[in-house]
Amino acid sequence: MKNILPTSTVGSLPKPAWLAPPEKLWSPWKLEGDQLLEGKQDALRISLQEQHLSGIDIISDGEQTRQHFVTTFIEHLSGVDFKNRKTVKIRDRYEASVPVVVDEVAGQKAVFVEDAQFLRKQTSQPIKWALPGPMTMVDTLYDDHYKSREKLAWEFAKALNEEAKALQEAGVDIIQFDEPAFNVFFDDVNDWGMAALERAIEGLHCETAIHICYGYGIKANNDWKKTLGSEWRQYEEIFPKIQTSNIDIVSLECHNSHVPLELMELIRGKKVMVGAIDVATNTIETPEEVAQTLRKALEFVAIENLYPSTNCGMAPLSREVARGKLSALSAGAALVRKELGGVL
């Protein structure tokens, strides 16, 4: 890995069409049984190779083995009914049919460990694994048991902690928690959301990251962004709390967003995954555009703490566009590295 500006994606990449129909969320599997298991592993291999070929430094699984970044984890917990679903408003923004918590929730067995072991065997580069954060999990289902978002988040945090420890054991270098809900429920973040996340990372010695974005490039999110005005200051409400936490890395949306980059001052000292790739457009960034975002970020983040990345996951994009964006990210980071004196 290059010593400065190591590139990574936030997590998800498009799946091959033979595994699941592309360009949609919750896309159903096209295979079953043993064929599905083998298909998922093949997709993982392809995802890894595409990241290698594009020059990505910190490898992720591209989330090839999961249908959705939140619900796949929840499927493996006890106490959740996936059959009798209810419709709720996710992130206070769009309606979705979600599973229902009907009893005490608890982890049964590790969800992603075999996938992580598989990926670990295929590459010697650092690997990063994404898990949903407790608050975002709470916000992606209906609770008919605890009747308290805080209590439910705490139970999820315990299950996530078990999973994270098993992933660490499998050789994962960075465990990332996806918390898009942090950008919506500020008071909850400060009251209990961050505390729940601290519970999820308790006892880990690998690096930990939190990803907070403005969502995938789907219509409900794009419409919401139009209502946020010319300056998006959501991060300002939660960064002070994150700054004092034990989380090592913060992943943010920057390119093409209206986030004032000076807000990164509020997390000075943390490592920052700077989103230099917009996932809400099919237009592929030029290396120079990526470099511009990174140069601006360098005004607020120390060079050794800057991790060029994407704004969010790329699952809903076409494979061709996603490949182009991976290469642009790499080429943009290389431009800045060169300006700063090459690979240090």
Site string for Zn ion, 58-87 (x = CB under 5 A): ------------------------------
Number of residues lying near Zn ion (CB under 5 A): 2
Q: Minimum distance between the CB of residue 133 and Zn ion, rounded to whole angstroms?
A: 11
Shortest Å, Cβ 211 to Zn ion: 6
CB of 181 to Zn ion, least distance (A): 11
Using the minimum distance from each CB to Zn ion, give the nearer residue, 9 or 54: 9
Rounded CA-CA distance 271/250 in Å is: 6
What is the residue whose two structure tokens read 């809903």? Answer: 316
Q: How far apart are CA 249 and CA 211, in angstroms?
A: 9
Report the residue number, 206 or 273, with the smaller CB distance to Zn ion.
273
Which residue in the block uniquely carries the two structure tokens 């490039």? 217
Q: Are 328 and 277 in contact (CB under 8 A)?
A: yes
The pair of three-digit structure tokens given for residue 172, joined into one six-digit string: 């994962």
Nearer to Zn ion, 167 or 273 (CB): 273
CB of 86 to Zn ion, least distance (A): 24
In angstroms, what is the minimal distance from the CB of 252 to Zn ion? Answer: 10
Nearer to Zn ion by C-beta: 172 or 213?
213
Which CB sits closer to Zn ion, 10 or 336? 10
Stretch that binds Zn ion, among 33-41, 115-123, 281-289, 311-319 (CB under 5 A): 311-319
Q: Which stretch binds Zn ion (CB under 5 A): 110-118, 122-130, 186-194, 211-219?
A: 211-219
Q: Which of 274, 294, 312, 329 binds Zn ion (CB under 5 A)?
A: 312
Judged by CB, which is closer to Zn ion: 162, or 237?
A: 237
> What is the footprint of Zn ion within residues 212-271 (CB under 5 A)?
213
CA distance 291 to 215: 23
Nearer to Zn ion, 138 or 213 (CB): 213
Q: How far is the CB of 180 from Zn ion (least distance, A)?
A: 5
CB 167 within 8 A of CB 129: yes
Identity of the residue, 101 or 280, whose beta carbon is nearer to Zn ion in the bound complex: 280
One DSSP character per residue, 85-139 reads EEEEEETTTEEEEEEEEEEEEEE-S-SSHHHHHHHHHH-SS-BEEEEE-HHHHHT
Q: How many CB atoms lie within 10 A of CB 83?
A: 6
What tokens appear for 319 in the block? 């494979």
Q: Of 180, 177, 227, 209, which is closest to residue 6 (Cα–Cα)?
A: 209
How near is the Cβ of 212 to Zn ion at its closest, in Å?
A: 8
- Taking residue 231's Cβ as centre, other Cβ atoms within 10 Å add up to 11
- Strand order through the sheet with 249-253: 128-132, 174-178, 207-211, 249-253, 271-275, 306-309
CB-side neighbour CA atoms (13 Å) of 1: 17
Nearer to Zn ion, 133 or 324 (CB): 133
Q: How far is the CB of 182 from Zn ion (least distance, A)?
A: 11
130 near Zn ion, judged by CB under 5 A:
no
d(CA 342, CA 344): 6
Interaction mask 12-41, Zn ion, x per CB under 5 A = ------------------------------
Smallest distance from the beta carbon of 151 to Zn ion, in angstroms?
26
**Contact positions vs Zn ion (CB under 5 A):** 213, 312
